[in-house]
Structure 1
Amino acid sequence: MPELQAFQDAFVSALAERTATPIAAWLPEGEAEPAGLSIYRNTIAKGCVDALAANFPTVASLVGEDWFRAAAALFARQHPPRGAALLAYGEGFADWLARFPPAADLPYLPAMARLDRLWTTALFAPEAEPLAAEAFALDPEVLAGARATLHPSLAFAGFDSGLPGLWLAARQPDPAEMMLSPEPQGILIVRPADTVHSRVLDAAGLAFLTAARDDATLGEAITAAAQADPHADLASLFAALIADGAFSGLDLGDDR
């Protein structure tokens, strides 16, 4: 078994480093580069590119198939997968795009990749039953002192411009003319059941979720939302988050 493990590790290194040197000890005398090794490399490379295309569909749709697959092949060569499963492959792709010279004229592209990554993360997040509105039918003082547990699939982020709206528009089957709003926007992505849902999040909603994530009580989170936008309809904001399936637990503070 130790010998088999050593060979497997060396074989993986040979694929990643694109040289047969790590497996030289197992090669027949005089054979420097087995022909089959390139087949394995090409198969893995295609699998990585296909996985990136599946995990970053918005980026692919914005730049076109040829551009995307060429960039994805370079990323895969520099960042080979750590395991056989490629369902969530692409960690670091957004940061890589930010440093990729051909993407310099597309400054929105790394953000599109980060949003795609949030969507994929939500898709593969652990299952949890979202709380229904009835769970929050409590005495106002009790509710204000409670702490809500965010659903494990919930992802949210804020941006200095309307990148979330651009991302949502680009993901439509037949996107109309896409315009980038200069106004700040947030994004909410969650999978309370079988389907991932996404929507633009305003300043009040972003402030509420940030406070809840940081262990604030619901009363404190509502206060943060009001401070972020004094004109926000806080009751509607809270109801919308419940309808989104944003919460999976409620701590009433009995054990604190």
Structure 2
Amino acid sequence: MLVDPVSSGRFARSLLDPEAPVPDGLVSHHGGAVERRFAVYRNNAAVSLVDALASIFPTVQNLVGEEFFRAMAHLYVRAHPPRSPLIFTYGEDFAGFIEQFPPAEPIPFLADVARLERLWLDSFHSADTPPLDPACLSSVPPERLEDQCFQPHPAARLLSTAHAAASITIRDRAGESLSDINPMLPEAALITRPACDVAINRLSPGGHTFFHALMAGRPLGEACGEAIKVEAESDISALLTLALTSGAFADLVDNSAKGE
């Protein structure tokens, strides 16, 4: 099939809409009818995008079943054609689509799981940068510890959800049962990529506040104080260990030195 450049926009719009007519300017190499060949091409394009969504959101598909997922994904594909030739960027607004998709209303946590899975892929494809050396604080004088600022790693992501998206995704991807999870409990998650493997870490409310402050460039002392305000029993030692070993940060900056 050949398409006139003038008709390329109509071609793209018609490709993902099974009810749209064959676009003007489309002809076969021998000048014959193209309806059947375009229908095959249209189907292959849609199926490839649905397959891409299934690979990006495996836990979402497991939660609703393959038949439901593919039907929902087909509707998404029709309404949201790709904006980039890079297929791993597709589905950035899939969670929002799920949230407005009436058949998914009985599964209110589904959109949050999709948000987490999208961040997992974003983390996986982020720039390569050496993570922070866990021993970096050993050379910092004790009186300057609270002034240390952490530079986020390009692969680090932070997400707070109204549902137990982190627990669900971690368990499902490990092939474990979800039977004892209350999906309606709010959770926060830190997504990192240590040693090239993406990891999801569940965070307490204080932990989320701690990492949110650090990733916003606030000094360690302020991050600790904010965490304790939100959750008095926050384990600062455990949170600092996670900050140093999770791959969430790439560098350390002494904020006290700025005033010297």
TM over 0.5: yes
Aligned residues: 252
Which amino acid in the other structure matches residue 213 of structure 2? A
Q: Answer whether contact 1:166 1:180 (CA < 8 A) is retained.
A: no
Which amino acid in the other structure matches residue 46 of structure 2? A
Is 1:238 the counterpart of 2:240 in the alignment?
yes
Which amino acid in the other structure matches residue 90 of structure 1? G
Give the distance between the partners of 2:73 and 2:215, measured in 1 at CA. Answer: 34
- 1:140-184 residue CA offsets vs partner (Å, 9 max, x unmatched): 232321211111111112234433223322222242524216554
Structure 2 residue aligned with 1:217: 219
Which amino acid in the other structure matches residue 55 of structure 1? I
Which deviates the most, 169-178 or 126-135?
Answer: 169-178
Is 1:108 the counterpart of 2:101 in the alignment?
no
Stretches of structure 2 lacking an aligned partner (at least 5 in a row)? none
Give the distance between the partners of 1:225 and 1:111, measured in 2 at CA. Answer: 24
Structure 1 residue aligned with 2:168: 166
Give the distance between the partners of 2:241 and 2:217, measured in 1 at CA. Answer: 20
SS at match of 2:120: helix
Which amino acid in the other structure matches residue 236 of structure 1? A
SS at match of 1:91: coil
Q: Answer whether contact 1:166 1:178 (CA < 8 A) is retained.
A: no
Stretches of structure 1 lacking an aligned partner (at least 5 in a row)? none
Cα RMSD after superposing both structures: 2.5
Give the distance between the partners of 2:17 and 2:254, measured in 1 at CA. Answer: 54
Q: Per-residue deviation at 1:27?
A: 4.5
Which deviates the most, 199-208 or 137-146?
Answer: 137-146
Q: Answer whether contact 1:24 1:32 (CA < 8 A) is retained.
A: no
Give the distance between the partners of 2:94 and 2:85, measured in 1 at CA. Answer: 18
Cα 1:207–1:139 change in 2 (3 A) is same
Which amino acid in the other structure matches residue 133 of structure 1? P
Is 1:247 the counterpart of 2:249 in the alignment?
yes
TM-score by length of 2: 0.86
Structure 1 residue aligned with 2:134: 133
- 1:77-113 residue CA offsets vs partner (Å, 9 max, x unmatched): 1111123321231111111111111111111111111
Which amino acid in the other structure matches residue 170 of structure 1? D
Q: Answer whether contact 2:112 2:162 (CA < 8 A) is retained.
A: no
Structure 2 residue aligned with 1:175: 177
Give the distance between the partners of 1:177 and 1:97, measured in 2 at CA. Answer: 23
Structure 2 residue aligned with 1:153: 155
Cα 1:160–1:9 change in 2 (3 A) is closer
Q: Per-residue deviation at 1:204?
A: 1.9
Q: Answer whether contact 1:186 1:202 (CA < 8 A) is retained.
A: yes
Give the distance between the partners of 2:217 and 2:36, measured in 1 at CA. Answer: 57
Cα 1:183–1:64 change in 2 (3 A) is closer
Structure 1 residue aligned with 2:93: 92
Which deviates the most, 235-244 or 41-50?
Answer: 235-244
Which amino acid in the other structure matches residue 69 of structure 1? R
Give the distance between the partners of 1:89 and 1:48, measured in 2 at CA. Answer: 8
Structure 1 residue aligned with 2:13: 13
TM-score by length of 1: 0.88
Is 1:24 the counterpart of 2:20 in the alignment?
no
Give the distance between the partners of 1:136 and 1:193, measured in 2 at CA. Answer: 21
Identity %: 31
Q: Per-residue deviation at 1:4?
A: 6.9
